Amino acid sequence: MLKEIISLFYPQNCAGCKKPVHKSEWAICLTCRIKMPQTKYLKSEENPVKQLLLGKCDVEHAFSFYNYQKGQRVQDLMYALKYQGVTQVGDEFGQIIGQHIKKEKRYSNIDFVIPLPLHISKQRIRGYNQCDSIARNIAAIISATYAPKFVKRIRATESQTKKSHFERHQNSVQIFKIKKPVKFEGKSVLLVDDVITTGSTLASLAQEFNSVDKCKVFIVTVAIAT
């Protein structure tokens, strides 16, 4: 009974801390928004995300917005987004990050915002790509074109453990294919992923855009796991 009364005033629970969200349509409550650890990498030219990508691809800039820590809010929110179908979490991550990107001069000329595609087999199982909602909202806020359909994932990432040390350091295996490369000639693209760990999958995607004439590549992930 008490729970029902409370739910009249607090209609929804936060996808991060599970506490009721007061009078808002948010999936991420105000407390979580304040407490999630921001990296501040957006403002730094050299940062750990750029370090991860160094020597694997060419990027104008790359950053993660939050630090991903086990047992913390960002992990709970990622779980809700990836495995529980709460795509509203992706919308809100995209809105938060988009607002910050909008204020950064070096990101003022982004033409296309592109979510890292899932392999079709994985997307069929999950039913959606968790990066789509993040990318779509960033694009809307920075007034760029959301372009989810121009890159195809031609292979699901293989397990790292099956590869030798040498193979792991080769980026010879093509994972992605751009459908109309000419569309991106002379353009700036912002590639979006949820969490960066080794950076090799994002680097493979960036490499494809590096082979397009005069295409500038930027990368953002919601979080970095180290």
Rounded to an integer, what distance in angstroms lies between the CA atom of residue 184 and that of residue 206?
A: 12
CB nearer Zn ion, residue 32 or residue 97 = 32
Pairing of strands 176-178, 216-224: unpaired
Among 10, 12, 13, 17, binds Zn ion (CB under 5 A): 17
CB nearer Zn ion, residue 29 or residue 74 = 29
Residue 206 binds Zn ion (CB under 5 A): no
Least spacing, CB of residue 18 vs Zn ion, in Å: 7
Cα→Cα distances 90→10, 41, 50, 71, 86, Å: 22, 20, 23, 19, 8
Among the listed ranges 21-29, 91-99, 105-113, 117-125, the one in contact with Zn ion (CB under 5 A) is 21-29
3-class SS of residue 67: strand
Map residues 22-51 to x or -, x wherever contact with Zn ion holds by CB under 5 A: -------x--x-------------------
End-to-end CA distance of the chain: 44
Residue 92 binds Zn ion (CB under 5 A): no
Strand partners, 178: 151
Residues that bind Zn ion (CB under 5 A): 14, 16-17, 29, 32
